[in-house]
Amino acid sequence: MPGTADKILQSILSSISQVADSRDIETLLMQFSRMAHELVPADRCTVWVFDKERNILWSRVADGIGRIESSAEEGLVGYVLKSGEPVILNDVYADSRFNPEVDRRTGYLTRNMISIPLKNSDGDILGVFQSVNKLGNIDFLEEDLKLLLFVTVYIGREIDAALLRDELDATQREIIYTLAEAAEMRSQEMGNHVKRVSEYCRLIAELIGLSEKDQELIKVASPLHDLGKIAIPDAILLKPGRLTDEERILMNTHAELGYSMLKHSNRRAFKAAATIAYEHHEKWDGTGYPNKIAGKDIHIFGRISAVADVYDALANARCYKPAWEHERVIALFQEERGRHFDPQIVDAFLENQERFFEINRTFADAHPID
Ligand code: C2E
Ligand code: SIN
Ligand code: SIN
Ligand code: SIN
Ligand code: FE
Ligand code: FE
C-alpha cells in the first residue's frame, strides 16, 4: 500500500504538534486517543492513568460523562499495570483476567482489546492504554501492537510531564515565586534576573534534549538559585564596587545557605531547587564553589543554571558592573567552554544565542541601572 506510511507519519506529526500546544492532561488524553485511532482503527481507545495514592486507574471516556474509575488490582488494566507487559486478547470474555465490571457500568460490549503499559522515561508505569474492539469485526494483530507501541511511548512521556504540572499546583508555584522575590528584593537591582534565568534554564534543557518533565522542573525550580542571598548583609549584597576577599568569602556562602534552606522538603520542585542552589557556582573544571566538584558530578541542572546565571549577570547591569556588549559575552563563553562550563551546554547556547538574547530583551529590567 504505497502512501500508507506517509499518511501514518503525517497523522502522527500533526497530532504531536497539537499535543505540544496542549497543557491539560484530559485534553492530552483525548488527543492521544485520536492519534491511536488513526493508526489502528478501533471502536474505542482508553488511556487509564494510575493514581498511586488511591490505588485506582481513572480514565475519561470520549464524549462520556466525566471520569470512570477502576481498581488497580482488577481486570486486564490491573494485570498490565503490574506486569508491565502488553497483552492482546481477541476474546476478552474467555479470559479470566478481564473484568466485565466496566462494561456493566458503561453499558458497552467489549469484544477484543490490546492493553499496553504506559511508562515514563525512567520506566515507571504510569497507566495503561487500551484499544478496544477493532473495527471491521476482525482480530487485533501483532502489527497493531507494534504501531500502538510507537504512540504509547509519547503518551507515557506526556502524561508524566502533565502529572508534574498538576503536582506543581498553584500554591507550590506561589511559594516558590514568593521566596524568589524575597531573595530578589534584597538586591533590588536584580529586577527580572530570576524570571530570565528561569526562562534560559528551560530553553537550555530543551536544546540539550532533556525530557519535558525536566524542562518544566528546572523552569519552576531555578528561580530559587540565589535564595541564600537573603542572608547576605546589604553592605555586601548592594556594594557598588568590587568585593574584598573577606566579603567574597561571605558572599559565596549563599550557595550552601540556599541549599540548607531548601533541602528538607520532599517535594520534587524544592529538591531540584536545593540542588540548583547548591551547584550553580560549581565549575566544569572543578574550580568552583562550594564543593569544587567537576564535570558530570555536577548535576545537569547545576550545569545548566551556571550558564543561565552567568549569561544573565553579564548581559545585564549589576550594582557592581555595567551590562556587557553581546560580543563580549559570547567571547567569554567561548573562552570558558570546558573550563567554567559544560561544553555541550555552551555549544547549545552559542548555536542559539539569538533566542537567549530575545529572552533577555523580553524580560528587560524596567529601570536598568546603567
Ligand atoms: P550574580 O551577579 O548573579 O553573578 C553570577 C555569576 O556571573 C558570578 O558568580 C560570575 O560567575 C558571573 N559574573 C558576574 N559578573 C561578572 C564579571 O564581571 N566578570 C566575569 N568574568 N564573570 C561575572 P560569582 O562570581 O560566584 O558571584 C556570585 C554573586 O556574588 C554574584 O551573583 C553577585 O551577587 C556577587 N558578586 C560577585 N562579584 C561581586 C562584586 O564585585 N561586587 C558585588 N557587590 N557583588 C559581587
Ligand atoms: C479490563 O481491563 O479488564 C476492563 C477494562 C475495560 O473494559 O475497558
Ligand atoms: C567581578 O569581578 O566583578 C565579579 C565577577 C567574578 O569575580 O568573576
Ligand atoms: C542529558 O541527559 O542529555 C545530559 C546528561 C548529562 O550530561 O549528564
Ligand atoms: Fe548565585
Ligand atoms: Fe544569580
pLDDT for 370: 43
Residue 313 CB less than 6 A away from ligand 1:
yes
Domain final position from 130, 164, 198: 164
**Quick one: 136 and 257 in the same domain?**
no
Phi-psi region for residue 258, left (φ > 0), alpha (ψ -120 to 50) or beta? alpha
One-letter amino acid at 233 equals P
**Quick one: 121 and 233 in the same domain?**
no
For residue 355 the three cell numbers come to 533566542
Q: Is residue 259 part of a domain?
A: yes
Q: Is residue 69 part of a domain?
A: yes
Q: Containing H/E element for 116?
A: strand 113-119
Q: Is residue 173 part of a domain?
A: no
Distance CA 231, CA 159 (A): 39
Q: Are strands 42-51 and 56-60 parallel, antiparallel or unpaired?
A: antiparallel
**166 burial via Cβ count (<10 Å: 0-12, 13-18, 19+):** exposed
Residue of 33, 59, 67, 76 to test ligand 2 pocket, by largest number of atoms within 8 Å of CB: 76
**Quick one: 146 and 196 in the same domain?**
no
How many other CB atoms are there within 10 angstroms of residue 266's CB atom?
A: 6
pLDDT for 1: 39
pLDDT for 287: 98
Q: Which domain holds residue 268?
A: 188-362
**Quick one: 122 and 84 in the same domain?**
yes
**Quick one: 263 and 158 in the same domain?**
no
List the residue whose alpha carbon is closest to atom 5 of ligand 4: 300
Below-50 pLDDT ranges, the chain = 1-3, 19-21, 369-370
**Quick one: 151 and 48 in the same domain?**
yes
**Quick one: 337 and 192 in the same domain?**
yes
One-letter amino acid at 69 equals E
**Quick one: 146 and 295 in the same domain?**
no
Catalytic (active-site) positions: 229
Q: Is residue 218 part of a domain?
A: yes
**Quick one: 132 and 273 in the same domain?**
no
Q: Is residue 179 part of a domain?
A: no
pLDDT for 61: 61
Using the mean position of ligand 4's atoms as its centre, give its distance from the Cα of residue 300 in Å. 6
pLDDT for 176: 77
Which residues are placed with Cβ below 5 angstroms of ligand 5, an ion? 226
Per-residue model confidence as pLDDT tens digits over 118-169: 998 888 999 999 999 999 989 999 999 998 988 888 888 878 877 777 666 6
pLDDT for 60: 72
**Quick one: 205 and 312 in the same domain?**
yes
Residue 243 CB less than 6 A away from ligand 1:
yes
Our count of domains for the chain comes to 2
Distance CA 296, CA 294 (A): 6
Residue 320 CB less than 6 A away from ligand 3:
yes
Per-residue model confidence as pLDDT tens digits over 46-55: 889 898 889 9
CATH of the domain at 284: 1.10.3210.10
Angle 268-279/300-315 helices, nearest 10 degrees? 60
Distance CA 107, CA 211 (A): 39
Distance CA 29, CA 154 (A): 11
Q: Is 182 within 8 Å of 127 (Cβ atoms)?
A: no
How many helices and strands (H and E) does the chain possess?
A: 16, 6
**Quick one: 324 and 194 in the same domain?**
yes
Q: For ligand 2, what atom is nearest to the CA of residue 80?
A: 2
Beta partners for 54?
none
**Quick one: 127 and 235 in the same domain?**
no
Residue 321 CB less than 6 A away from ligand 3:
yes
CATH of the domain at 95: 3.30.450.40
Q: Is residue 369 part of a domain?
A: no
Q: Is residue 10 part of a domain?
A: yes
Q: For ligand 1, what atom is nearest to the CA of residue 229?
A: 34
| Distance separating the N- and C-terminal Cα atoms of the chain | 66
pLDDT for 281: 98
One-letter amino acid at 316 equals N
Q: Is residue 169 part of a domain?
A: no
List the residue whose alpha carbon is closest to atom 7 of ligand 2: 102
